């Protein structure tokens, strides 16, 4: 089945889990043929758990530069997010996430992959 791209304006406030790649006919945002393939979604920042947040410090200069760039041209590369039983976890993309927070953006574009509890444990190790 062909997939269609839906172009969304950057930083639109009321998008909640809106798929950018078209949903499959059963309503799931994941493609039917590749159940575990990634999808790109706009997710509210406060719905992404960041378990390693306090263990790593971001480079404030990088964050500032990203803020300027994101303001100017938008987020060019979505951050990677893991979906474990409907809960989103982010382990990378820390500077982009903080840049969005500081810019006051409500959502961030994420490349979402489904994961198991075992995948989650692996990331937490
Ligand atoms: P992070 O912790 O978010 O991964 P890095 O500084 O390691 O921060 O990498 C920044 C990433 O952000 C790069 O992969 C770059 O391609 C991506 N990116 C996405 N949107 C932008 C943008 N508007 N300006 C600059 N880099 C961007």
How far apart are alpha carbons 110 and 23 in whole angstroms? 15
CA of 115 to the centre of ligand 1 (A): 23
Sign of CA dihedral 52, 124, 74, 7: negative
Q: What is the largest CA-CA distance in the chain?
A: 44
Q: Is residue 1 part of a domain?
A: no
How would you classify the pairing of strands 48-49 and 87-90?
parallel
- Residues 81/112, Cβ–Cβ less than 8 Å: yes
**Could you tell me if residue 21 is inside a domain?**
no
Please state the rounded mean pLDDT for residues 60-67.
Answer: 98
105 in any annotated domain? yes
Which residue is closest in CA terms to ligand 1's atom 14?
Answer: 77
Whether 25 is in a domain gets the answer no
Does 13 reside within a domain? no
User: Residue 125 has which token pair?
Assistant: 């190790």
Give yes or no for residue 78 having a pLDDT over 50.
Answer: yes
Residue 18 lies in a domain: no
Instruction: Tell me how crowded residue 117 is: count the other CB atoms within 10 A of its CB.
Output: 9
On average, the pLDDT of the chain sits at 82
| Residue 31, domain member (yes or no) | no
* CATH number of the domain enclosing 61: 3.90.1530.10
Count structural domains, the chain: 1
- Taking only the tens place, the pLDDT of each residue in 10-59 is 444 444 455 555 444 555 666 655 565 899 999 999 999 998 877 779 99
66 alpha carbon – ligand 1 mean position (Å): 7
Residue 83 lies in a domain: yes
pLDDT digits (tens, 9 = 90+) for 92-119: 999 999 999 999 999 999 999 999 999 9
Query: Domain range holding 98?
Result: 38-124
């Amino acid at each position: 089945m062909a997939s269609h791209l839906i172009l969304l304006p950057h930083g639109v406030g009321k998008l909640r889990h809106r798929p950018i790649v078209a949903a499959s006919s059963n309503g799931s945002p994941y493609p039917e043929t590749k159940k575990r393939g990634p999808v790109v979604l706009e997710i509210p920042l406060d719905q992404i758990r960041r378990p390693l947040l306090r263990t790593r410090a971001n480079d404030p200069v990088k964050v500032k530069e990203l803020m300027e760039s994101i303001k100017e041209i938008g987020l060019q590369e979505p951050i990677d997010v893991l979906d474990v039983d409907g809960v989103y976890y982010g382990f990378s993309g820390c500077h982009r996430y903080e840049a969005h927070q500081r810019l006051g953006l409500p959502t961030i574009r994420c490349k979402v992959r489904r994961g198991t509890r075992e995948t989650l444990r692996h990331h937490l190790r």
